[in-house]
Amino acid sequence: MKLSSATGGVEATNIMAIMAITETKRFEVRAIENGTVIDHIAPDALFKIIRILGLERDTHRITFGLNLESGRMGKKAIIKINDRYCEQEEINRISIFSPNAVVNIIRDFQVVEKLHVAPPDHIEGFVRCINPTCITNNQPVRTSFEVNGGSGELSLRCRYCEKITPCGQIELR
Ligand SMILES: [Zn+2]
């Protein structure tokens, strides 16, 4: 290999690339001392979960990763929340958007509990009815749904207009 200023430039670029990879690895494995790690989140559900957990307004230290490699899922997202333990009700809301998510409760850097999310029987308030003429889309009425399908595709049945909102079309209010 010839030593020239051009080669030096290429090497510097490579070093920067290696540094970037190292940073990513460190971020992926970085442990938290106490708190909640939500793992195996479907990538397209990440920002919805951030919203339903109210993390935009949360003052705890929060880190998240998107499109991380996952053997099981191909790509996944992860959220780490320092010093906050999520309520079971919040955890169940996650299942509406990411049924395979796993919630790890961390104390002293150890996973003390691993919770699989489970769909609740009904949900209120945080998602929209698919029917544009539904009263909940036209009056200040809180939405309310029965959750259908424990084993198959999840869907929501509106308690007001009875329209079914299928899994892929569930939107936050
Ligand atoms: Zn409705």
What percentage of the chain has pLDDT greater than the value 90?
Answer: 60
Cα–Cα distance measured from residue 22 to residue 100, given in angstroms and rounded to the nearest whole number: 28
Give me the CATH topology for the region 31-116. Alpha-Beta Plaits (3.30.70)
* pLDDT single digits (tens) 5-62: 444 444 555 555 555 555 544 444 468 999 999 999 999 999 999 999 999 999 999 9
CB atoms within 10 A of CB 106: 21
Residue 141 Cα to ligand 1 midpoint, Å, equals 10
pTM: 0.75
Question: What are the sequence ranges of the domains in the chain?
Answer: 1-30, 31-116, 122-169
Cα–Cα distance measured from residue 39 to residue 64, given in angstroms and rounded to the nearest whole number: 10
Residue 128 Cα to ligand 1 midpoint, Å, equals 8
Query: Which DSSP letter does residue 152 get?
Result: S
CATH of domain 122-169: 2.30.30.20
Residue 3 Cα to ligand 1 midpoint, Å, equals 70
Cα–Cα distance measured from residue 91 to residue 34, given in angstroms and rounded to the nearest whole number: 17
Residue 91 Cα to ligand 1 midpoint, Å, equals 24
pLDDT at 88 over 80: yes
pLDDT of residue 87: 85
Full DSSP string of 83-143: T----HHHHHHHHHH-TT-EEEEEETTEEEEEEE----SEEESSB--S-TTSGGGTSS---
Residue 101 Cα to ligand 1 midpoint, Å, equals 27
The b-or-e profile of 121-153 (16+ CB within 10 A means b, else e) is eebeeebbbbbeebebbeeeeebbbebbeeeee
